[in-house]
Chain A
Amino acid sequence: MEQAYTISVFTENKIGLLNRITIIFTRRKINVESLTVSESGISKDIFRFTVVIRTTPDYIGKVVKQIEKQIDVLKAFYYEDKDIIYQEIAMYKMPTSVLAKSEVVEKIVRNNNARILTIEEEFVVIEKTGHEDETQQLLEALRPYGLLSFARSGRVAIAKPMKPLALHLKELQEANS
């Protein structure tokens, strides 16, 4: 059975590495559901890729080993949703008039723990951070009131297991000396 996995990849900051990682999925006909790249917090030149894919429990380990095999990848991990804290951010652009006309939209925003980022003369931008189903729910709720635009980020995730990354990296360096 296919299920969602979140893959965290720690890499050198190199041109083309995104390509090297995505072709591993392309070649195996795996769709990338979401992808985020940022600094890792380890050091300025180590980056973190967070990739969400759907595949089988049998296959995920093999795919992640192929990622880790790339020369500029330090370490790659994969998690099921229960093993991570994860969030996505969504933004919703609505006409300002819908807020003025009725309180419904304001209620929706309040009940969903969303917030209004900006109010311009013609439009407002609402922001919600949460899991995909939550931001999706808000999307469906707002849609009838005239949703002008919608954008959702890729997933960012922090792993629950307490074995620190530093230890993994230390093991890696010991193997490499």
Chain B
Amino acid sequence: MTTSTFSEKPKFIEDSAFDLGEAVSFVEQPILEKKNISGAEAVILSLIAEQVEAVFGYPGGAIMPVYDALHGYNDKLKHYLVRHEQGATHAAQGYARVAKRAGVCFATSGPGATNLITGIADAMIDSTPLVCITGQVARHLLGTDAFQETDVIGISMPVTKWNFQVTRADEIAEAIAKAFYIAESGRPGPVLIDITKNAQIEMCDFVYRKCTRVRSYVPQLPIKMKAINEAAELINHAQKPMFLIGQGIILSQAQEELKKVLEKSGAPAASTLLGLSALSHTHPNYVGYLGMHGNYGPNVKSNEADVIIAVGMRFDDRVTGDLKTYLKKAKIIHIEIDPAEIDKNVKTDVAIISDAKEALIALLPKLKQKTYPEWMAEFKECDRIEKEKVLDKDFAPNTEKIKMAEVIKMLSEKTKGKAIIVTDVGQHQMTTTRYYQFEQTQSNITSGGLGTMGFALPASIGAKIGRQDREVIAIIGDGGFQMTLQELGVIMQYEVGVKIVILNNSFLGMVRQWQQLFFEKRYSFTEMHNPNFVKLAEAYNIPAKKLEKREDMSNVLDLMLDHKGSFLLEIVVEKEDNVFPMVPAGASVSNIRLE
């Protein structure tokens, strides 16, 4: 054997052949620098460097150094003292959803941190960017069951996109820079930074650089034109195409691109709960709302479509109903930023793993100008049936008490569909999302994936702080209101001008509805004896009114809407009203019940 045969050997590449570069990369130019400061001050300066405007939090032993440092920066960083840490996360969520930036929370160790978990879980499942900063016992006390020590990293792991424990002051700037980058990029989500008390007290030389890249994390894959072409081919040859749009449209700010794609392709579009307000409800291609209490047309017609284009949505079970009978006639195109969502619930024919906006931009020139008058007419026919069976009943003034639907319809008209509507969880949520005619985007704030009662009041506070220029109306059930009503204190203290509407049916309405329909009317622990909500609001110095009569509704709504500043309106509604249509849990969307 000669040496030359050796060199002809096929070239193999070793696992280590490729240089991965730095684990984390930062912009070279620092935004902010300060020598010899405490870790606590470094936390505050990091947030200032990230141009954070609002922090929602609650102090306690393990985070006191941070609160002490905050004291000196009150003019640069506004902190809102919530009344329970759950309120901090929901307020930060409400803020993030309207401000298009991560919401920020502070909490102390132990119970402070565990109180954040519900909101973090909610943000995780609804893809809301949060940066939560918790205090922790000192490094040397970790694992000793020290006072207010809990394993917050361990507890929050399943519900955070990323979390990290800081034990040294000089780690703070990089950890926070990385936290914002991860929370806001790709599919957004909550992150948590746990900072031991010693790290807050120690001194460090602070240098803040924005994080630009984490080598093990690809926020967004490059678009594959092959998939775009295949999708266009399917859409161009479709007989009954249909778009299913989700929150991805809002998160990627693809509202305009979506409109163009719809207007060119001619296809109808239906929205998920979190996708509501991505497309104006008066847009000619908008055919309604998907899911358990969505509209009749989009639910049944999705099973008749021959091409489904799902954009920035994740086929939640409340949208799909029984998977075995779902979309069986359709070729499925799924545009989604998170590869783990592809084929998770529904098998796709063409997967476009991408940010919604970029995908729609790439798709638009490939589409043929088309219209589907007959297919669109089928949706119109469904609307007619839904009107006859559901809407006419919902809006007929034939009950003694006001019905939720009437309130929402009037509120929608009076605000011209332009308010930010924050809903809690239950019948009022489904009724509001059914009947509020969203005209403006980023206007629907609700707890979708987790269905967290108690979400709306604090979330509306965050939303108002994020968008002072817009009307923010929280619509809440009498049950859910009592889960986080202590946050009225925040509204009072900081004069947050939210309008609060309690739709009081003296029941845990949605659960009662299920008991009526599926448990033979055995109302087990769903009836509620409620406090005097008006007095409660007045105790917090918030003007309030109780509305009981239909004929007063218009005037009272005007009174609330014309009022400058916060206002609480309790509306006594029908006790045993039901939300229809309804796809019973686990049933096919084709078998949606109209009554």
Contact = CB atoms under 8 A, between A and B. Distances in A.
B222 to A, nearest CB: 6
Contact of B20 (A19, A46, A164): A46
A119 interface: no
A69 interface: yes
Given A62-B340, A68-B339, A166 B14 contact: yes
A173 B21 contact: yes
A149 interface: no
Interface in B335-350: 338-340, 342-344
A167 B21 contact: no
Contact of B344 (A11, A41, A62): A62
Contact of B340 (A45, A46, A66): A66
Interface residues of B, number: 35
Interface residues of A, number: 37
Contact of A173 (B16, B17, B215, B342): B215
Contacts of A177: 213
B15 interface: yes
A27 B158 contact: yes
Contacts of B221: 175
Given A42-B20, A176-B215, A20 B340 contact: no
A61 interface: yes
Contacts of B213: 176-177
A59 to B, nearest CB: 10
Nearest to A73: B216
Interface string B170-203: 0000000000001000000000000000000000
Contacts of B163: 16
Contacts of B222: 174-175
Interface in B384-413: none
A30 interface: no
A104 to B, nearest CB: 44
A23 interface: yes
Nearest to A66: B340
A69 B338 contact: yes
A66 to B, nearest CB: 5
Nearest to B163: A16
Interface in A26-76: 27, 40-43, 45-46, 61-62, 65-66, 68-69, 71-74
Contacts of B15: 40-42, 164-166
Given A42-B20, A166-B17, A169-B18, A175 B339 contact: no
A43 B12 contact: no
Contacts of B31: none
B6 interface: no
A140 B569 CA distance: 76
A61 B157 contact: no
Given A41-B15, A164-B13, A164-B14, A61 B162 contact: no
B23 A12 contact: yes
A160 interface: no
B157 A16 contact: yes
B342 to A, nearest CB: 8
B551 to A, nearest CB: 53
Contacts of A23: 157-158
A65 B214 contact: no
Contact of A71 (B214, B220, B340): B214
Contacts of A74: 20, 215-216
B314 interface: no
Contacts of B141: none
A66 B21 CA distance: 24
B216 A71 contact: yes
Contacts of A72: 162, 216-217
B154 interface: yes
B16 A42 contact: yes
B539 interface: no
A72 B217 CA distance: 7
A146 to B, nearest CB: 41
A170 B213 CA distance: 15
Given A16-B165, A173-B21, 11 more contacts: A20-B157, A41-B15, A42-B20, A65-B344, A71-B162, A74-B216, A162-B12, A164-B12, A166-B17, A167-B18, A169-B20
A-B pairs, top 3 by smallest CB distance, nearest first, are A65-B340, A164-B13, A166-B18
27 contacts: A16-B153, A16-B163, A16-B165, A20-B157, A23-B158, A42-B16, A43-B16, A43-B20, A45-B23, A46-B20, A61-B343, A62-B344, A65-B344, A68-B339, A68-B340, A69-B338, A69-B339, A71-B214, A72-B162, A164-B12, A164-B13, A166-B14, A167-B13, A167-B18, A169-B18, A170-B18, A176-B219
